[in-house]
Amino acid sequence: MNLLEKLESGKRLSYEDGVALWELDLFTLGKYANKKRKALYQNKAFFNINRHINPTNICKDICKFCAFSANRKNPNPYTMTHEEILKILDESITHNITEVHIVSAHNQDAGLDWYMGIFRKIKERFPALHVKALTAAEINFLATQYNMSYEQIIEMMIKSGVDSLPGGGAEIFDEKVREYICKGKVSSKQWMEIHDIWHKHGKKSNATMLFGHVEKREHRVDHMIRLRDQQDKSGGFNAFIPLVYQRGNNYLHVEDFLSSVEILKTYAISRLMLDNIPHIKAYWATSTINLALIAQEFGADDLDGTIEKESIQSAAGAKSSGGLQLQTFLDLIQTSGFAPVQRDSLYNEIKTY
């Protein structure tokens, strides 16, 4: 069976197929990816009303791609108090957010109780708010710092009110690329192990892939296959999120920006390879909202959300720092020919516009 016949039949694609997909033109890839996306979700484009909070930027690790953590290039260290975080949410809750997304840094001075206290206090004040917090990189940091097992940290997180895990820290699983871009942080194997444990608790998580830096197309396919294998085992990934690398203000020094064709191909191939992860999120903060909307015709079905304040990608140059107003979001989705569907964090539909 050749590649096109395999795509026609919907059969599972191998690593070699995945590599060969890149040689197809964008519109052929788009045709097959869109067919899959439409069969699952018709013309729905999912989004949520959410708030991102990054409670500290003080980090013991130096990832070359990161412009968010406080370092020579960004000498602006901060650590929020619990009261400051609650105050932000007092305001955001009036915008009907259903989720708070919390990604921090690896702060050695903050203390385990500072991390867990954030979730406990949020749940005390806003019991219905979904808390999506702590990447596998942060969990690995906390386990190492406080000499605890992943299981112990995860049990504490669940007790403190964390509902799901964001997909960060995955970067690129290939060990050589990983060593070059983020030496010393959670390994690929550990990242997977942490999500495996999380899923065994019956909980959901996401998985990201940082692309468009020094990795090759083969590394992206390898990344997807590793996630697909894990999903076959534990089944807890809700969404795959390809994050377009932002070049500003960091130590990777990548000159070339990916073409839109390459970015759209990456979304389409994600949909085709990841036959067992339900949602492909075009995270507009890294792709721009314009391309994220076009990506809805190339396999993606989700746009993340209104965000309100974005600090990680905008530190590296993305134009995402102020989030998007709900009405703007809705207008853009509708004028692109899609039906905006507000979802909760577990993809239950809340409202169709």
Q: Which residues bind ligand V47 (CB under 6 A)?
A: 65-67, 103, 135, 166-169, 171, 206, 208, 210, 241, 243, 245-246, 250, 283, 286, 304, 312-313, 316
Cβ 14 to ligand V47 shortest distance, Å: 26
86 touches 125 (CB < 8 A): yes
> Phi-psi category of 298—alpha, beta or left, where left has phi over 0 and alpha has psi -120 to 50?
alpha
> Phi-psi category of 214—alpha, beta or left, where left has phi over 0 and alpha has psi -120 to 50?
alpha
Question: Judged by CB, which is closer to ligand V47: 89, or 282?
Answer: 282
Cβ 36 to ligand V47 shortest distance, Å: 21
Query: Residues 146, 152, 157, 159: what is their CA dihedral angle, to the nearest 10 degrees?
Result: -130
- The Cα 251–Cα 301 span in angstroms is 32
Question: Judged by CB, which is closer to ligand V47: 7, or 307?
Answer: 307
Cβ 242 to ligand V47 shortest distance, Å: 10
82 touches 118 (CB < 8 A): yes
Question: Judged by CB, which is closer to ligand V47: 32, or 54?
Answer: 54
Question: Judged by CB, which is closer to ligand V47: 30, or 242?
Answer: 242
Regarding beta strands 237-244 and 204-211, do their DSSP bridges make them parallel or antiparallel, or are they unpaired? parallel
The contacts found for 5-9 with CB under 8 angstroms, 24 or more apart, are 7/32, 7/272
Helix (H) or strand (E) holding 50: strand 50-53
The residue whose Cβ lies closest to ligand V47 is: 168
Question: Judged by CB, which is closer to ligand V47: 17, or 48?
Answer: 48
Cβ 15 to ligand V47 shortest distance, Å: 23
Cβ 339 to ligand V47 shortest distance, Å: 21
Cβ 81 to ligand V47 shortest distance, Å: 23
Cβ 207 to ligand V47 shortest distance, Å: 8
Question: Judged by CB, which is closer to ligand V47: 24, or 282?
Answer: 282
Q: Which of 244, 220, 282, 302 is nearest to 19 (CA)?
A: 220
Residue 216 makes CB contacts below 8 A (sequence gap 6+) with: none
- The Cα 202–Cα 204 span in angstroms is 7
Question: Judged by CB, which is closer to ligand V47: 62, or 158?
Answer: 62
